[in-house]
Chain A
Amino acid sequence: MSAAEGQTKEIILRTRGVGKTFGKFVALNDISAEFSRGAITSIIGPNGAGKSTYFNLLCGAFAPTKGSVEFEGKDVTGLPQHRFAHMGIAKSFQITSVFPQLTTRENIRVGLQALVSRYDIWRPRARLTELVERADELLALVGLWESRERAAKTLAHGEQRALEIGMALASQPRLLLLDEPTAGMSPEETRTMMDLIVKLAKERTVILVEHKMKLVLGISDRILVLHHGELLAEGTPQEVRQNEAVKRVYLGQREH
């Protein structure tokens, strides 16, 4: 469970006092946190706690209105999102987001291509055979090899979620950000996904946003609890479970 304890405590990602306001609404206020390399860190909290906002700041989908984000010691605050992918940060979406009309394999191949060729209008892409081979490896890893020639829109919900993870992996991230990866999944699919996440975390850092606390207690090295846009608690699953403030928040709206 605590795989990170034996590892170095190197910090891969750090936020210093980040906040985000939408007009007058303060979605997130002054959050400072550090994320260790190689660990699984989960960000939990009830609805409207600011989890998704925080997540979007981490992956560069939008810039914070104050504070800064640091990745591997570099200040990345306010960089355009596509640059985050180039640096080694990849994300999956809360609501499934794939290229619906393209085949499963082409979805991943396009993800891979972003690292190699983005503006080449002349060479045939059929020559980039290594991308297809890498795509096939990733398809096998996320369990979609059988569905490789199907259009992504025809996949079942759980398969689309898996495809999404595959696409996030395509950019060879050192940091993988997952936004509610099990949203809308059956218990069976959820178990498969959790196993996959643990497997992926062996080779890279994972940050997970999750609504259901129970789900992440077992696999996380560290947990951040957000509430009303503030950092309510932080610690190992054990510490968080026993934290009085966390208990109040989660009991107040019935733990899932």
Chain B
Amino acid sequence: MTGATESIKQPRATTGSWYEFATRHRASIVAAVILIFPLVMPFTALAVNILIYGLYAVGFNLVFGYLGLLSFGHAALFGTGAYLCGIAIVHFGCPWYAAIAAGIAGGLLMASLIGVLAIRTRGIYFAMVTMALSQCVYYLFYQAVDLTGGENGLRGINVRTIDLFGLRLDFINPMIRYYVIAAFVIAAFFVMSRILASPFGAVIEAVRENEMRARASGYDVTKTRLLTFVLSGGFCGLAGALQALHLSIVPIEILHYETSGLVVMIALLGGMGTFFGPMIGAAVFLILENVVSVWTVHWQLIVGAIFIACVLFFPAGIWGTLIARGRR
């Protein structure tokens, strides 16, 4: 039974060897790309944005691409992560690592709450329920002015140095800031890769492929969906926490439904249900936005047109299309 293990690492139809290589070493490849990324980027701030939105999209993709549910409320998970990280620093004077932990916990908790209420619906109803709940979260944070700063956003998240076992890193320096954030993003990618390769990863895909069959096989579909949604919340919460540290402020717009829509676009552009897709989507989208907005203030028109063209001609997304080519 020599070929016995292949099908596990590579559950879909057999493809080219480069794809198998990329799948086996997916987390390491992402790590390598992330490490050299700022050296080829014009400014580090853009590279940091791509990292953070890429991670946000990776978390979203777990629900959208792997579980097959379109959530329109992921801004609530991303935003809660950002706010809790910020609140921990501004109001409770927590050190940076505790603040990041608070952000992850916030994402997990908010995902549990939204998940419990939304997970029994599907299709358009799931999208609508998650969106409605995330609007509730928006108003909750908007009203809690003492804690969140309301419409002014939460200001004063000043982390100047990162203390790491006696090592003091200057967080103001853009390059150092990039690599500190990159360390978390890379760690998150390793965790995600691990989840996808776990027995539960197979269950997630089985539920997406055929809910009735999964149930008949003995899987609790509702529980599987809920756990996946909560895991997704953890990744989005971490992305939000990093965003708060990066911006030094949490704008209330982070909870706006535009933030939910943005991540759908990024995932579609890169390729839903693929490991590299969300990161590629984030890079392409944010670089486009950056380049085009230098030429014209109507950048959304052009980026929108490019997005529509991509969805029409490459419905599998950039990475999804490349994989399909490689399979031929």
CB pair A110 B7 closer than 8 Å: no
| B161-220 residues at the A interface, CB under 8 angstroms | 194-195, 197-203, 205-206, 209-210, 212-220
Binds B, one of A9-17, A44-52, A92-100, A230-238: A92-100
Q: Which residue of A lies closest to B231 (CB)?
A: A121
Which A residues are in CB contact (< 8 Å) with B201?
121, 125
Q: How far is the CA of A81 from the CA of B195 in the complex (A)?
A: 26
The SS class assigned to the B binding surface is helix
Q: A91 and B216 in contact (CB under 8 A), knowing A99-B206, A103-B12, A126-B8? A: yes
Q: How far is the CA of A58 from the CA of B99 in the complex (A)?
A: 52
Mask for B273-289, Cβ within 8 A of A = 1, else 0?
A: 00000000000000000
Which A residues are in CB contact (< 8 Å) with B13?
101, 103, 149-151, 154
Q: Which residue of A lies closest to B6 (CB)?
A: A149
Which B residues are in CB contact (< 8 Å) with A99?
205-206, 209-210, 213
Partner of A97, one of B3, B7, B213: B213
**B311 shortest CB reach to chain A, Å:** 21
Question: Could you list 26 examples of A-B contacts with CB < 8 Å?
Answer: A80-B220, A82-B219, A90-B216, A97-B216, A101-B209, A102-B11, A102-B206, A106-B7, A106-B202, A109-B8, A109-B202, A116-B199, A118-B220, A119-B200, A119-B203, A119-B223, A122-B198, A123-B199, A124-B194, A125-B198, A125-B202, A126-B9, A126-B197, A148-B7, A149-B3, A151-B12
**A108 shortest CB reach to chain B, Å:** 10
Return the 9 tightest CB-CB contacts between A and B, nearest first.
A85-B218, A114-B218, A99-B209, A117-B199, A151-B13, A106-B11, A121-B200, A125-B199, A132-B4
**B211 shortest CB reach to chain A, Å:** 10
Q: Which residue of A lies closest to B223 (CB)?
A: A119
Q: How far is the CA of A115 from the CA of B217 in the complex (A)?
A: 9
Which A residues are in CB contact (< 8 Å) with B202?
106, 109-110, 113, 125
Residue A191 interfacial (CB < 8 Å): no
**A149 shortest CB reach to chain B, Å:** 5
**B61 shortest CB reach to chain A, Å:** 16
CB pair A82 B221 closer than 8 Å: yes
Residue A72 interfacial (CB < 8 Å): no
| A16-74 residues at the B interface, CB under 8 angstroms | 59, 61
Partner of B217, one of A110, A125, A151: A110
Known contacts A121-B198, A126-B8; 17 additional CB pairs below 8 A are A93-B216, A97-B212, A98-B213, A99-B205, A99-B209, A110-B202, A110-B214, A113-B199, A114-B218, A116-B199, A125-B199, A128-B199, A129-B4, A132-B4, A132-B8, A136-B4, A148-B7
Residue A167 interfacial (CB < 8 Å): yes
Q: How far is the CA of A159 from the CA of B71 in the complex (A)?
A: 36
**B324 shortest CB reach to chain A, Å:** 13
Residue A181 interfacial (CB < 8 Å): no
CB pair A118 B8 closer than 8 Å: no
**B46 shortest CB reach to chain A, Å:** 33
CB pair B217 A85 closer than 8 Å: yes
| B1-36 residues at the A interface, CB under 8 angstroms | 1, 3-5, 7-9, 11-14
| Residues of A in contact with B, size category | 35 or more
Q: How far is the CA of A128 from the CA of B8 in the complex (A)?
A: 9
Residue A86 interfacial (CB < 8 Å): yes
Q: A171 and B217 in contact (CB under 8 A), knowing A102-B205, A105-B7? A: yes
Residue A188 interfacial (CB < 8 Å): no
Which A residues are in CB contact (< 8 Å) with B205?
99, 102
Which A residues are in CB contact (< 8 Å) with B219?
82, 114, 118
Q: How far is the CA of A113 from the CA of B219 in the complex (A)?
A: 10
CB pair A167 B217 closer than 8 Å: yes
Partner of A82, one of B1, B11, B195, B220: B220
Partner of B198, one of A102, A103, A116, A124: A124
Residue B132 interfacial (CB < 8 Å): no
Mask for A137-180, Cβ within 8 A of B = 1, else 0?
A: 00000000000111100100000000000011011000000000
Which A residues are in CB contact (< 8 Å) with B212?
93, 97
Q: A125 and B197 in contact (CB under 8 A), knowing A110-B202, A149-B13, A167-B213? A: yes
Q: How far is the CA of A123 from the CA of B14 in the complex (A)?
A: 24
Q: How far is the CA of A14 from the CA of B4 in the complex (A)?
A: 41
**B277 shortest CB reach to chain A, Å:** 16
Residue A133 interfacial (CB < 8 Å): yes
Residue B227 interfacial (CB < 8 Å): yes
**A136 shortest CB reach to chain B, Å:** 7
Q: How far is the CA of A210 from the CA of B227 in the complex (A)?
A: 39
Which A residues are in CB contact (< 8 Å) with B214?
110
Residue A111 interfacial (CB < 8 Å): yes
Q: How far is the CA of A99 from the CA of B201 in the complex (A)?
A: 14
Residue A120 interfacial (CB < 8 Å): yes
CB pair B7 A149 closer than 8 Å: yes
CB pair A119 B227 closer than 8 Å: yes
**A110 shortest CB reach to chain B, Å:** 5
Q: How far is the CA of A216 from the CA of B3 in the complex (A)?
A: 39
Q: A100 and B209 in contact (CB under 8 A), knowing A82-B215, A120-B200? A: yes
